Amino acid sequence: MASFDCQRLAKMTATALVSLKERADEFSGLDAETGDGDHGTAIVSAMTAVDRVAQQGTELKKVLGDMGFAAMTESCGSTSTLIGAFFLGMSDGVKGESLNAAETASMFSAGLKKVKEQTKASIGDKTMIDALQPAVDAMPANAENGIPAMLQAAAKAAATGAESTKDMVAKFGRARNLGERVIGHLDAGAVSTACMFDAFARGFTAST
Amino acid sequence: MTTQKLIMKKFLNDPENIAAELLEGYTLAYADKVSLMSEKIVVRTHPKSKDKVALVTLGGAGHEPALSGFVGEGMLDASVVGDIFAAPGAPKLLEALKTFNREAGILLVVLNHAGDVMSANMAMELAKREGLNVRMLLTHEDISAGLDTPDEDRRGLAGCVPLFKVAGAAAEAGKSLDEVLEIAERFNKQMATLAVAMTGATHPQNGQAISELPDDEMEIGMGQHGEAGGGRTKILSADETAQRMIEPLISAVDAKAGDKTMLIINGVGATTLMEMNLIFRKAYRVLEAQGIEVISGLVDEILTVQEMAGFQMILCKLDADHVPLLKAPCDTPYWTVR
């Protein structure tokens, strides 16, 4: 059974950075429909900081905390705080250097908890939470199949969640002011979150 | 909703460096009043004495002169700047709070926008762990979503600027943190803002169009339907626009005959002072007809959104102690009282 450690984490963030960069224009385009049109730049800038720190990590708890701080230090706007909080929270939820599937699920759950402390958004509000929460919630039930399968289940749940934002009215950010006009548009943050989880699943199993 | 990349007519360099370069230019231009403490933290060139409460704020760039334009004697001690339209991260804000930590304490003024509030809350959590003496005040005076909207859903607009003036003067007068907070919070509760837009703006980093409107339409409020007399309409005359905006503001602050107020018309970028003076005139006359006194007026650009056309109308109902604080001397690049 593969376990979650600093090396795997570094591969996951590296894969995520590549995928987010590839789709940055798509995210900005989605954000332009309802927001400032800068989400692609924002998520890439946050993940660049996160990945740089991840590549130098030797202690799991410490590196996750440093990754969170780096996102908030080197990037601006809500995206940097939310992504930063996610990794800070994961750091809170970690004991030891090598995690089994259940421990990995708890770590992600602690990450989600910290994000929810920063935003009152819940499922159905047309935000990144629509992808993040289903992804994290899908993990415990799939833990017994090992980490790769668990991360794939999370990625699938995130993708479904992101897709569901299309029919929603926004309750947060600039999109909130547009009322019904945002129906039919995907939320950029949810789509980039789904992209990140998909990359995490691929990155975890990537051969060194 | 169609969005298109517009060809921007702006004098720019590398989009990545806009915020840093504009702050460099600004602090060079007004070097006798403001300086850069570190990247994206603007402070007073001549600091306030340590025994007085410090006033700190944060927010995205691209809204000049706000917020850094009001750093200086009698107003802000520090403004922590993010990127264009994006709040600075919590660690940057914490850096400023650590620098200004003092026995007298710090008042952190935050405008209610998701990113700003997240950074501020996170920084407050970190500040608490470090034992810093900081209190936070959130401005949320926008009434465009309706008068019965809960505070957390009301945006903080240009009303923060007169609040900086009042809180800054109270701090300068040597009042305690509790007193400064109480005075500012009371001012905060008694002000209201309504915005009107005629044309949108472009995001200077990516050329994205922000809130477009048809050529013959304007929008009072923010796309909410009819609340606060707002929503989209064909373009109205200055008098009619002013009338439609001042009335809900009077209700919002519950101004009555005999009350003293401050009335501000804040241009958001492309609207001329000529138009804004027409608006001020009518709003003043409506207040006057109801026996509400305007003891302080301002027609200017204090918080902008690039080249958006439109303005914010801000009405502040003043208590007796607010009046001398508004009139007290201050010396910042964009608000000076002698």
Indicate which CATH number applies to the domain containing B249.
Answer: 3.30.1180.20
Is A159 among the domain residues?
yes
Residues 6+ apart with CB under 8 A from B338: B329, B331
Cβ-Cβ contacts under 8 Å between A and B: the total is: 97
Give B26's contacts (C-beta < 8 A, 6+ positions apart). Answer: B34, B42, B64, B68, B69, B333
The reply to whether B203 belongs to the active site is: no
DSSP notation for B42-68: EEESSPPPTTS-EEEEEEEESSTTTTG
pLDDT by residue (tens digit) across B236-270?
Answer: 999 999 999 999 999 999 999 999 999 999 999 99
Name which of B82, B30, B21, B22 is nearest B332 in CA terms: B30
Same domain, B136 and B279: no
Whether residue B305 contacts residue B201, with contact meaning beta carbons closer than 8 Å, is answered with yes
Residue B52: which CATH number?
3.40.50.10440
Name the B residues in 81-120 with CB < 8 Å from any A CB.
Answer: 82-92, 114-115, 118-119
Q: Let me know how many helices (H) and strands (E) chain A has, helices first.
A: 10, 0
- Same domain for B166 and B61, yes or no, is yes
Residue type, A120: K
- Answer whether residue A1 is part of any domain: no
> Does residue B11 sit within a domain?
no
Query: Based on the structure, what is the number of domains in chain A?
Result: 1
B183 and B216: one domain? no
Mutate to test the interface with B, among A80, A116, A183, A186 (most CBs of B within 10 A): A80
**What whole-number distance in Å separates Cα of residue B80 and Cα of residue A130?**
31
Longest alpha-carbon distance in chain B: 56
Interface of chain A toward chain B, CB-CB under 8 angstroms:
28, 32-34, 36-38, 41-42, 69, 71-78, 80-82, 84-85, 118-120, 172-173, 176-179, 181-182, 185
Contact A38 B121 (CB under 8 A): no
Q: What is the pLDDT of residue A178?
A: 74
Q: Quick one: B37 and B130 in the same domain?
A: yes
| Location of structure tokens 């998909």 | A198
Q: Which of B113, B203, B225, B322 is catalytic?
A: B225
DSSP sequence for B236-290: PPHHHHHHHHHHHHHHHHT--TT-EEEEEEEE-SSS-HHHHHHHHHHHHHHHHHT
- Taking contacts as CB-CB distances below 8 angstroms, the residues of chain B near A38 are 84-86, 203, 205-206, 208
Render pLDDT for A89-112 as a digit per residue (tens, 0 to 9): 999 999 999 999 999 999 999 999
In a domain, A13, yes or no: yes
As a three-state string, the secondary structure of A85-122 is HHHHHHHHCCCCCCECHHHHHHHHHHHHHHHHHHCCCC
Measured CA to CA, the distance from residue A201 to residue A148 in angstroms comes to 6
Query: Over the stretch B116-168, which tens digit does the pLDDT of each residue have?
Result: 999 999 999 999 999 999 999 999 999 988 888 888 889 999 999 999 999 99
Say whether residue B3 is in contact with chain A using an 8 A CB cutoff: yes
Give the whole-number percent of chain B exceeding pLDDT 90.
86
Q: Is residue B328 part of a domain?
A: no
Q: Indicate whether B135 belongs to any domain.
A: yes
Structural domain includes residue A139: yes
**CA nearest A42 in B: which residue?**
B86
Residues B171, B258, single domain; the answer is: no
Same domain assignment for residues B237 and B312: yes
Q: Which domain holds residue B96?
A: 17-189
Domain-embedded: residue A120: yes
* Residue B234: CB atoms within 10 Å: 8
Tally of structural domains, chain B: 2
In this model, does residue B3 exceed pLDDT 90?
Answer: no
Is A55 a domain residue?
A: yes
**CB neighbours of A182 closer than 8 A, spacing ≥ 6?**
A33, A34, A126, A168, A169, A170, A175, B1
Query: Is residue B24 located within the same domain as residue B156?
Result: yes
Look up the CATH number of the domain holding residue A93: 1.25.40.340
B337 forms beta bridges with B330
B224 part of contact set with chain A, CB < 8 Å:
yes
* pLDDT of the residue at B75: 98
Instruction: Quote the domain boundaries for residue A123.
Output: 6-205
Mean pLDDT for back-to-back runs of 10 residues, chain A (208 residues): 94 98 95 87 97 97 97 93 97 96 98 95 96 98 97 98 95 76 92 98 86
Please check whether residues B149 and B82 belong to one and the same domain.
Answer: yes
Residue B117 and residue A78 in contact, taking contact as beta carbons nearer than 8 Å: no
